[in-house]
Amino acid sequence: MSTVVDAVESDDEAETARRDPFGDEAIEIDEATLRRMSPAAWVDGVTRRLDSAVQRFIYR
């Protein structure tokens, strides 16, 4: 959080309001969309399925 605060901190109030990452123009994505679009989420799903398959193969 401190990195974000440092990045948007300014002595000029108008400049600070314009660069506010939590202001009205912030981009917000719901969790389902993020999981669909994020490469990390895809890899996590593939890894989980692969781990499950290998465990079934080894222990059965």
pLDDT tens for 31-48 read 888 778 888 878 888 899
Given phi > 0 = left and psi -120 to 50 = alpha, else beta, which region is 16? alpha
Q: Indicate if the pLDDT at residue 50 is higher than 80.
A: yes
Q: How far is CA 10 from CA 2, 18, 25, 41, in A?
A: 14, 10, 19, 35
Maximum average pLDDT range among 8-17, 22-31, 41-50: 41-50
Categorize the per-residue pLDDT at 1 as very low, low, confident or very high, splitting at 50, 70 and 90.
very low
* Both tokens assigned to 2: 């401190």
Q: How far is CA 33 from CA 30, 38, 48, 53, in A?
A: 6, 8, 19, 27
Domain ranges for the chain, please list them: 2-59
Q: Indicate if the pLDDT at residue 49 is higher than 80.
A: yes
